Chains A and B, each alone.
Chain A
Amino acid sequence: MRVTWASLLPVLRTLPWPTLTAAGGVGLLLAAVPRLADGTAAAGPALDLLRCVALTGGLGLAFLLDDPARHTTAAVPVRRLARQALRAALVAPPVALWWAAAVLLVPAEIRPPVGDVTLEAAAVGLLALAGAAAGVRLTDRPRPGPGVAAGLLAAAVLAPLLLPERWALFVPADDDRWAAAHDRWALLLAAAVAAWGLYGRERLGRRR
């Protein structure tokens, strides 16, 4: 545990802050669109908007586990999952603040149900982290971020197009399927956490 605390500052320094800031900035810019576009806002677009904002957040988080010093730090006594969790814990407060700001930027009268949309955002963020963890575990690359981001983007574009009716995730707020869809989002969140737990472990034994 002491070692984990000791690695706090170095990890804080190696986090991809510029990428996270850029993603956050783009997200906030998108979230500000209804306030900038005067009076034409409607509830349907506001939901799409928050989903896009969540996606920018997810894309930022896809780069979170990028570590140029990966091969050097592999030898430290702290487990990889703990190091990754530490990274996530360090960015969690600013990310939460950022999401709150994005939600508040959307005018209250067109804002979709906050709890459910936050669930969607959390699922997207954790999917990104699980993807990044998989990228770290399955490849030798120190920066798997671009591939993970591309995968997340592809999933976000294709899922609304290809998911069959029974598994619909991207439903409008006034739809009957809203509650069922959010059960599926919760499942997705749980699956992402499980996948991260699975892929966050160091691979034992030699590859190839």
Chain B
Amino acid sequence: MSAVLSPAPPAADRAAAAGGARAVLALARFEARKLLSSAPVVLAFVVYIGWIGWRTRQSFAGYPALQDADRSTQAGPLLVGMAVLLSANLAVLRSRRHGTEDQFAVLVVPRGRRTAAHVLALLPVVLLTAGCVTGQFTWEALKPGAIGHGSPAELLAGPLTVLLFGAVGVLLARLLPVPSAAPLLSVCFLFVFVLGAFSFQGEGTRWLAPVVSEASTTPLPSDLIGRPAAWHALYLAGAALCVAFLAVLVSGARGLTVKAGVALTLALAVTGAVAQAGGDSPALTAARERATVTPEKEQTCVERAGSRYCAFPEWVPRTAQWATVVDRVRSLTGPAAHDRQLLVRQRIDARYGPAADSAIPPATRRDQVTVGTAWGGNRVPEFSTAVAAVLVAGSEAASDTMCDGRMVTVMWLSLSWQDDPVDALRRVRLDDSVSGAAIVLSPTDPLTMTEGQTDVVRRLLQRPLAGVAAKVRAHWAELTSPKVTTARVAELLGVAGPGKADSCA
């Protein structure tokens, strides 16, 4: 309370240089410990690690495409970054808050070096974040259903964001040494980067944000994603280091190293910012077009139990899961369909890259089934429905306009073999209902079920599988003829018929 305020004594430059580095390291160690144990950072890490555990257990329905899983590690570190910004800022302002700024001036470590120590103290938090990111990604990669390749540059974005936010906190404390500045800046960051409202519309400016998310939820082959992840990592690293050097510079360390550091890192950041704004290259656009229009030229085909499965190279391991579904559905069909050779082809619409999802038109070729790039969860009954529809109607295009008793056969084939058929029925319908008319999802165009068909299917699914299966085999020809009505199908399969006649409005 009674500290004498006097002009700071001249720092002993030569002596400081010798012992300086050691002192900076010692101070950095102390500040790193303080930072790691500060309340906001501890809270943020608890929530972050909890979020990783909670989310990764069920993410991607257990079948992650690693080129998407790497991106999904970027959101969590924003929270940590915000906490580090706040805590680093408060740590730099601590000496002001406690009125010890003038006492520090007589010590061997001048202000610029103390700032450097604060910046170095960010490293353990950044490394801890990197550890969490690695853990989250490794978890995804170790899931038995994982396919594809992750990108190290995408994984770097999270830890670099934390470094950038921390450095901004330190710089802010030196530029504007008031305690309210960091919370207010955090709100702006929250608004711009997390809520993402009103911001960054253009392709170039969009990438100036530390974390850039994509609208599409459909995985693409990794060479078609076309995100400038490496340039973005360079931009983030350059920006973070530039802010850090600037913080040291404005604290009074005007040495050549610091100035060169600012210039060099600024150049790195600008290089990254310019390079990442380049947009899609013509080669990438052509490759996306090729994969969309003529996927057969890019795909690898494998033969499994009499059917052919063509997938983009990264998805070849997943053909086993597709084959299981195809075999289960086919085993329930009549003898005529038993030996049909299906071609299961993976199709995507990659023309818009990861920016937008678009519907895939049904295949017109006979016995060809379309499968998407996502798997697990609702994708399984959807694919199963497409397989059943092709086995019954002949092709995807023909099944599209189906509005007769065959729909009952299709849905029973698709769902009856699954663990909980009625629940699968609910999941495969757009409105999650098990009664009334509804849209049924499939990898391509959706199908429609009338109210009567829904009732008959539900009754069938509640019957024992073996009994219905025997009747389906016996009456296969009539069940799959285009003229059959829902009432006739119900009669053939031995359940109560629909209340009303079919009409697909």
Chain A 47-60: CB-based contact to B (< 8 A → 1; otherwise 0) = 01100100110011
B302 at the interface (CB under 8 A from A): no
* Total number of B residues with any Cβ neighbor in A under 8 Å: 28
Contact B198 A34 (CB under 8 A): yes
The smallest beta-carbon distance between B411 and chain A, in angstroms, is: 31
Judged by a CB distance under 8 angstroms, whether B11 is at the interface is no
- A49 with B184, Cβ < 8 A, contacts A153-B86, A157-B190, A161-B47 known: no
In this complex, the member of A33, A143, A146 whose beta carbon has the largest number of chain B beta carbons within 10 angstroms is A146
Contact with A along B53-91 (1 / 0, CB 8 A): 000000000000000000000000001001100100010
A49 and B47 within 8 A (CB):
no
A40 contacts B198, CB within 8 Å?
yes
Cβ-defined contact, B40 with A149, below 8 A: no
A90 interface residue (CB < 8 Å to B): no
Q: Of residues 184 to 213 in B, which have CB atoms within 8 Å of A's CB atoms?
A: 184, 186-188, 190-191, 195, 197-199, 201
Contact with A along B401-441 (1 / 0, CB 8 A): 00000000000000000000000000000000000000000
Task: Give the contact stretch, choosing among A2-10, A18-26, A191-199.
Answer: A18-26
A98 to chain B: closest CB distance in Å? Answer: 14
State whether the Cβ of B463 lies closer than 8 Å to any Cβ in chain A.
no
The answer to whether A75 has its CB under 8 Å from any CB of chain B is no
Asked whether A59 lies within 8 Å of B47 as measured between CB atoms, the reply is no
Chain A residues lying within 8 Å of B184, measured Cβ to Cβ, are 22-23, 26, 56, 59
Across-interface contacts of B181 in A (CB, < 8 A): 22
Interface string of A136-165 (1 = CB under 8 A from B): 000000010110011011101110011000
Q: B180 is contacted by which of A19, A44, A48 (Cβ under 8 Å)?
A: A19
- Taking a contact as CB atoms closer than 8 A, the residue among B40, B93, B97, B191 that contacts A154 in the complex is B40
Inter-chain CA distance A146–B195, complex, in Å, is 24
Which secondary structure characterizes the binding site on chain A? Answer: helix
Interface string of A25-67 (1 = CB under 8 A from B): 0100010011001001100110011001001100110110000
Give the dominant DSSP class at B's interface.
helix
Q: Is B39 an interface residue (CB 8 A)?
A: yes
Contact, CB under 8 Å: A145 / B179: yes
Nearest opposing residue in chain B for A66, CB measure: B179
Chain B residue with the shortest CB-CB distance to A20: B180
Interface centre among B186, B187, B188, B198 (most CB of A within 10 A): B187
Shortest beta-carbon distance from B74 to chain A in Å: 16
B197, A45: Cβ atoms closer than 8 Å: yes
Q: With A143-B97, A154-B43, A157-B82 in contact, do A22 and B197 touch (Cβ < 8 Å)?
A: no
Shortest A128–chain B CB gap in Å is: 11
- A49-B180 in contact given A34-B198, A41-B198, A154-B40 (Cβ < 8 Å): no
Question: Is B8's CB within 8 Å of the partner chain A?
Answer: no
Instruction: Select from chain A the residue with minimum beta-carbon distance to B89.
Output: A146
Residues of A within 8 A of B179 (CB): 63, 143, 145-146, 149
Q: Establish whether residues A59 and B187, one from each chain, have CB atoms under 8 Å apart when the complex forms.
A: yes
Nearest CB of chain A from residue B417's CB, rounded to whole Å: 34
Query: Which B residues lie within 8 Å of A52 (CB)?
Result: 187-188, 190-191, 195
Residue of B nearest to A47 (CB): B197
Tell me, in angstroms, the Cα distance from A22 to B197 when the chains sit together.
22
Q: How far is the CA of A44 from the CA of B195 in the complex (A)?
A: 10
A121 to B323, CA, bound (A): 56
Q: For the complex, what is the distance from the CA of A160 to the CA of B47, rounded to whole Å?
A: 13
- The reply on B178 being an interface residue by CB < 8 A is yes
Considering only residues 58-117 of chain A, those with a C-beta below 8 Å from chain B are 59-60, 62-63
Partner of A26, one of B90, B97, B187, B198: B187
**Chain B residues, CB < 8 A from A145:** 179-180
Contacts of A30 in B (CB 8 A): 187-188, 191
Which residues of the partner chain A approach B83 to less than 8 Å between Cβ atoms? 154
16 contacts between A and B (CB under 8 A): A19-B178, A22-B178, A23-B180, A30-B187, A34-B198, A40-B198, A41-B198, A44-B197, A59-B184, A145-B179, A146-B179, A149-B179, A149-B180, A150-B86, A154-B40, A157-B82
A sample of 15 more A-B contacts (CB under 8 A), given A40-B201, A154-B43, is: A22-B178, A23-B184, A30-B191, A40-B198, A44-B197, A45-B197, A48-B195, A59-B184, A145-B179, A146-B93, A146-B183, A150-B39, A152-B183, A153-B186, A161-B47
Point out residues on A near B: beta carbons under 8 Å.
Answer: 18-19, 22-23, 26, 30, 33-34, 37, 40-41, 44-45, 48-49, 52, 55-56, 59-60, 62-63, 143, 145-146, 149-150, 152-154, 156-158, 161-162
The 7 residue pairs across chains A and B that have the minimum distance between CB atoms: A45-B197, A146-B179, A149-B183, A52-B191, A19-B180, A37-B198, A59-B183
